[in-house]
Structure 1
Amino acid sequence: MPEEKFIDVEKIIGSKNPKLLKWLPGFVLRWIKRVLHEKEVNAFMNLHGHLRDYDFIHKVIGEFRVTVNIRGLENIPREGGFILASNHPLGGFDGLALMQAVEPARKDIRFLVNDILLSFKTMDNLFVPINKHGSQGGTDVIEEAYASEKAVLVFPAGLVSRKQQGVIRDLEWKKSFIAKAVQHKKNIIPTYIQGSNSKFFYNLALWRKRLGIKANIEMFWLMDEMYKQRGKTITIIFGQPISYTVFDKRHSPKGWAQQVKKFVYAMGSGKATVFIPDYEKHPAESAS
């Protein structure tokens, strides 16, 4: 029986643009397959694609020999709903490592994702797809997750970290996790993930932006970046819960989101352990 293809580059291109597939030189197709690790991913999925949820996560992390160091696991509530908000440095392996790190405390997670992890149907029971097109069905599923008594995991930036002024950090954190924390009376667990992609990834993103190219072409290399994490260590720090009552009208949800983001990076660098609200209204803060 022929092996099933989890990634089929020629089929994907052919379904989108048959003329392009006929025009593309063979060496270009081979290059695309190498970047997407078509052969390696298909081999892995044919061997382990029957595994589900945490079993699949453990297998991936084990096969890649990635070590996950956990600090502050005692800050994860053992029952009741909460929102875990984290930075997003890697674009794939950080999500896997985060789920494995949370598992000893809470198996009932709902992870809001919109990136490469959605390709892996082996973890469907843990994921809530972020709806980019505003359909009512997708919005209802997200609302149901926030309203539940489960552990909701979210990357508020929505995109992988980029290098900004020489420092690797998230882009602006979206306000929705603050709004939902207040609406559903859920505390927030601030979380820092230590990790980075390759210099190539950040330089590509930088030059793409300088050239005025709006499409995030660097995302094409995220699978390759996952493979570059082989043998590395990812450290995850769970901070003390932040009460939803902190997020009052003295700041907009957008303003509070940036404060939590700032605290997460301070926590990661060892400069802070407790979230202390800054009630001074910043000029740049939007009223949205």
Structure 2
Amino acid sequence: MTKKFIDIEKIIADKNPKLLKRLPTFIINYLKRILWQDEVNRIIQDNEGVSGVQFCRNVIKEFNITASIEGIENAPKTGGVTFASNHPLGGMDALAFIDQFSHYRSDIKFIANDILLNLKPMQDIFVGVNKMGATAVPSLKNVDSVLANDESVVIFPAGLVSRRKNGVIEDLEWKKTFVTRARKHNVPIVPVIIDGKLSNFFYNLSNLREKLGIQANIEMLYLVNELFKQKNTTIKIIFGKPIYPKDLDNDLKDTVLAQDIKRKAYSLKSK
């Protein structure tokens, strides 16, 4: 019998106990299905005792993902560094990045929503950040501690998976946090572009939800389902040249600089 490493009901209860009580059983069962609870637990059980980089490699192998990397020579080999990347795949992009970059540096940390810390094999790599509520600011101290320790940090500045607007798949606005933290700790920023896309279903649902004026990102519920659609695909990761804090324009706000770096990342596609 498969162990229950990921328990959807428990995750909801921990985040919002009142919501769990209001949800009918058929909704909970539907969530378990689209979040592939049984299959995810099976993968974790098959890799019991395996964590971090090796877990990522095993998942990449199971999904038959072909990952390639370009411009790795642009990444500093030692010292603190922030990698700012687009987020096209909602999960597999992170695993592919870790799988490939770990051959270059072993001290990789990934800034992630704290709900992903429920994935225990990744707890050594994920640095949890709670964007909501009273713990939002304190959780940023986790990011500071990693950068202060001269480790390599990867962040998806958009905070959400890429969307399709007017036929173009691209991140939403990049938040300034990665620029602010890089300045604070005097570490370089390396722009990264990851080539990949999700299904038309995901993008169409996202656009429909916006047209209907629904604020909740309901399409995010299907990201695990999207992950399983990425079997037998190729993921290309391109690293740009490092940008050092001393080279950032002090006359520009960090919010503006974040968008400039986003443009630099996307320009890597055409090179």
TM-score (norm 2): 0.91
Cα RMSD (Å): 2.0
Which residue of the partner structure matches residue 81 of structure 1? 80
Pairwise CA distance, 1:9: 4.5
Instruction: Report how many residues are paired.
Output: 265
Partner Cα separation in structure 1 for residue 7 and residue 169 of structure 2: 33
Which residue of the partner structure matches residue 269 of structure 1? 270
Which residue of the partner structure matches residue 256 of structure 1? 257
> Does residue 49 of structure 2 align to residue 50 of structure 1?
yes
Give the SS at the match of 1:17: helix
1:172-183 equivalent positions in 2, closer than 5 A: 172-183=173-184
Give the SS at the match of 1:129: strand
- Change over 3 Å in CA distance of 1:105–1:36 after alignment to 2: same
Residues 91 and 116 of structure 1 are in contact (CA less than 8 Å); yes or no, is this contact kept in structure 2? no
- Change over 3 Å in CA distance of 1:211–1:251 after alignment to 2: same
Which residue of the partner structure matches residue 222 of structure 2? 221
- Change over 3 Å in CA distance of 1:12–1:107 after alignment to 2: closer
Which residue of the partner structure matches residue 123 of structure 2? 124
> Does residue 23 of structure 2 align to residue 20 of structure 1?
yes
Pairwise CA distance, 1:38: 2.2
AA in 2 matched with 1:64: F
Which residue of the partner structure matches residue 239 of structure 1? 240
Residues 182 and 245 of structure 2 are in contact (CA less than 8 Å); yes or no, is this contact kept in structure 1? yes
Partner Cα separation in structure 2 for residue 97 and residue 35 of structure 1: 22
Structure number with greater Rg is 1
- Change over 3 Å in CA distance of 1:250–1:66 after alignment to 2: same
Gaps of 5+ in 1: 271-288
Partner Cα separation in structure 2 for residue 166 and residue 116 of structure 1: 31
1:1-288 equivalent positions in 2, closer than 5 A: 2-9=1-8, 16-18=19-21, 20-21=23-24, 24-25=25-26, 31-114=30-113, 117-132=116-131, 133-135=133-135, 137-270=138-271
TM-score (norm 1): 0.86
Residues 82 and 153 of structure 2 are in contact (CA less than 8 Å); yes or no, is this contact kept in structure 1? yes
- Change over 3 Å in CA distance of 1:138–1:9 after alignment to 2: closer
Partner Cα separation in structure 2 for residue 70 and residue 258 of structure 1: 24
AA in 2 matched with 1:4: K
Pairwise CA distance, 1:134: 4.4
AA in 2 matched with 1:148: N
Partner Cα separation in structure 2 for residue 44 and residue 20 of structure 1: 27
The 4+ residue runs of structure 1 with deviation greater than 6 A are none
Residue deviations 1:151-176, cap 9 Å, x none? 01111111110111210100000111
